[in-house]
Amino acid sequence: MSWFESFVLGLVQGLTEFLPISSSAHLRLTAAFAGWHDPGAAFTAITQIGTETAVLIYFRKDIARILSAWFRSLTDRAMRSDHDAQMGWLVIVGSIPIGVLGLTLKDQIEGPFRDLRLIATTLIVMGIVLGVADRLAARDETGGKHRVVKERKTLKDLGVKDGLIYGFCQAMALIPGVSRSGATISGGLLMGYTRESAARYSFLLAIPAVLASGAYELKDVGEGHVSWGPTIFATLVAFFVGYAVIAWFMKFITTKSFMPFVIYRILLGILIFALVWSGALSPHAGESAG
């Protein structure tokens, strides 16, 4: 992997990680369209450490408060009813599905799941799911003809059941094209949470999963065409770009619809299918060389 490739892929990772359009799919597609080797699941997981570091800094006050309350709850029973302490436990509970499935499906994640036809399918299907969830949220928030505004849930209403559902939604993102934020935000909206609450828990829930995945994949750096230097460079690029994107996105979702992302996902999925069916793009482009 050249330094230019690592810069472009780090830029793509930073731009797409927090948007509901799938960063892993865009890394795979960028390499395929450019005629580069598939960067692989290990490169993707490690560069996500960069964007997740941006989450740690952006939500540093929330995270510090949650960690403090959670640690105190280990020895102080009274603290176990504290919302922040409960959030700490719910992040742990919600991380179980992706941890178990990530290890179980490791070979599929690094192989069959990277087929461009599957990516195109997940882009379209999850785009439709996000669109439906977005419309339901908008209907509750604005009311409408013969309808009253319906109050949606916040993170104070989050319990173990909903935390696990969020966790299974996050686990779906093991398939490139699903999108970690897209799946968890869609799940949150369908369960009746506000856009801001769904996004906030989505980002907090991703922290242990992404950091653990990145650390686990460190052993594979240096194998094949991906070396340490370009990987670290891409991770740094992803961090700086990702921080800017998360700040913008958290403001965006408070007043805007997810429909632009829905339309983008569906059109991109259709384009991939058209290119594959026409023979202009191989569904396994770059894999054999990786």
Asked whether residue 148 is domain-assigned, the answer is yes
Q: Residue 147's pLDDT is what?
A: 64
Cα–Cα dist 239/43, whole Å: 14
Angle at 32 between CA 20 and CA 123, to 5 degrees: 30
SS3 content of the chain, % helix, strand, coil (to 5): 75, 0, 20
Q: Residue 146's pLDDT is what?
A: 57
Locate the DSSP E strands across the chain: none
Is the Cα dihedral 83, 88, 91, 97 positive or negative? negative
Asked whether residue 288 is domain-assigned, the answer is no
> 57-70, pLDDT tens digit by residue?
999 999 999 999 99
Average pLDDT value for the chain: 87
| Residue pointed to by tokens 């856009």 | 195
Cα–Cα dist 141/256, whole Å: 12
Closest by CA position to 131, among listed 288, 267, 271: 267
Look up the domain containing 142 and give its range.
1-276
Asked whether residue 289 is domain-assigned, the answer is no
Domain count, the chain: 1
Mean per-residue pLDDT, 144-152 = 71
Mean per-residue pLDDT, 225-249 = 89
Asked whether residue 151 is domain-assigned, the answer is yes
DSSP letter for each residue of 193-242? B-HHHHHHHHHHHHHHHHHHHHHHHGGGTTSTT--HHHHHHHHHHHHHHH
Asked whether residue 94 is domain-assigned, the answer is yes
pLDDT surpassing 80 at residue 279: yes
Q: Which two tokens stand for residue 117?
A: 């036809």
Asked whether residue 127 is domain-assigned, the answer is yes
Asked whether residue 284 is domain-assigned, the answer is no
Q: Residue 226's pLDDT is what?
A: 63
Q: Residue 275's pLDDT is what?
A: 93
Q: Residue 289's pLDDT is what?
A: 40
> 94-146, pLDDT tens digit by residue?
999 998 888 888 777 777 888 899 999 999 999 999 999 999 888 877 766 65
Cα–Cα dist 19/166, whole Å: 17
Asked whether residue 32 is domain-assigned, the answer is yes
Cβ–Cβ contacts within 10 Å for residue 266, how many?
18
Mean per-residue pLDDT, 194-211 = 89
> 75-106, pLDDT tens digit by residue?
888 888 899 999 999 999 999 999 888 888 87
Q: Residue 290's pLDDT is what?
A: 38
Question: What is the DSSP secondary structure assignment for residue 165, as one 8-state letter?
Answer: H
